Amino acid sequence: MKGILKSKIFFIGLFLFIFLINAAQATEYRQCTRVVDGDTIILDRNERVRLIGVDTPETVYPSKPVEFFGKEASAFTKRMVQGKKVRLEYDWQRKDKYGRTLAYIYLSDGTFLNAEIIKQGYGHAYTKYPFKYLEDFRKYERESREKRRGLWADDPVASTERLAQGEGNKSPPGQILPNVAPQKSEAVTVYVTRTGAKYHREGCRYLRRSSIPISLEEAKKRYSPCSVCSPPQ
């Protein structure tokens, strides 16, 4: 009897241990320390991660001229994750031939970065190799093209130039006074949520659950201004 009881306790203990290990892994968050370009980021412990299923224009190869829309894609990913906590999810292949980790990246509010890049028109669905969200990503790209977002806009070259001018001289939110010396809307960043129909200033209380940066110009096409934080119009 004693032997059976002992082994029961041992197995219960073992299951509990395995369960706790799994639970710990499931909620592990990492820090994004740097964004290399739209689809490649660096995590703490210097781990280089290539986002699965998305391809953004290159900006970093010195031999190539900056690819069309690359700067904007890179700036978008920066605004989304640089300096933030992220959660990783993997597919069938954990590393590529360059030793980069292949992963899906989620923010702590549940925003799915890989999908968001395609939905907002900052990259293509990369379908050369199979992955579990391939059909979803194709659909997002189709929608993004139809709605002429980002890369698919009528005049994305002009918006690239505007972005370059706007970087570095953005006024902090709260100092942008509507009607008084209005800023060029292309240079201003406002925020939207995953499900809402309004756009907001940074820090608005409605952004607690999700906060997706977007240019004011884009926001005005698809969202209406929040009446609580009254963002620039």
> Cβ of residue 98: shortest distance to Zn ion, in angstroms?
42
Specify the residue, 156 or 196, whose C-beta has the smaller distance to Zn ion. 196
For position 119 contacting Zn ion by CB under 5 A, the verdict is no
For position 103 contacting Zn ion by CB under 5 A, the verdict is no
> Cβ of residue 226: shortest distance to Zn ion, in angstroms?
3
Q: How far apart are CA 89 and CA 42, in angstroms?
A: 15
For position 102 contacting Zn ion by CB under 5 A, the verdict is no
Contact 126, 55 (CB under 8 A): yes
Catalytic option among 30, 50, 149, 201? 50
Q: How far apart are CA 178 and CA 225, in angstroms?
A: 12
User: Per residue in 130-149, is it b (16+ CB within 10 Å) or e — as a string?
Assistant: ebebbebbeebbeebeeeeb
* Element at 218 (helix H, strand E): helix 216-222
Q: Please give the residues from 187 up to 226 whose contact with Zn ion meets the rule CB under 5 A.
A: 200, 204, 206, 226
> Cβ of residue 203: shortest distance to Zn ion, in angstroms?
9
Specify the residue, 137 or 199, whose C-beta has the smaller distance to Zn ion. 199
Among this protein's residues, is 100 annotated catalytic? yes
Question: Residue 115's CB: how many other CB atoms inside 10 A?
Answer: 20
Specify the residue, 103 or 204, whose C-beta has the smaller distance to Zn ion. 204
Give, in order, the Cα–Cα distances in Å from 36 to each of 21, 48, 141, 157, 229.
Answer: 32, 9, 22, 21, 33
The size of the interface with Zn ion (CB under 5 A), counted in residues, is 6
Specify the residue, 171 or 230, whose C-beta has the smaller distance to Zn ion. 230
Task: Output the CA torsion sign for 21, 25, 31, 33.
Answer: positive
> Cβ of residue 61: shortest distance to Zn ion, in angstroms?
40
Among this protein's residues, is 48 annotated catalytic? no
Specify the residue, 124 or 200, whose C-beta has the smaller distance to Zn ion. 200
> Could you give the angle at which helices 156-166 and 70-81 cross, rounded to 10 degrees?
50
> Cβ of residue 199: shortest distance to Zn ion, in angstroms?
8
One-letter amino acid for residue 29 of the chain: Y
Catalytic option among 48, 100, 148, 162? 100
Among this protein's residues, is 58 annotated catalytic? yes
Q: Which of 59, 117, 229, 232 binds Zn ion (CB under 5 A)?
A: 229
Contact 120, 220 (CB under 8 A): no
| Active-site residue list | 50, 58, 100
The residues of the shown chain that bind Zn ion, judged by CB under 5 A, are: 200, 204, 206, 226, 228-229
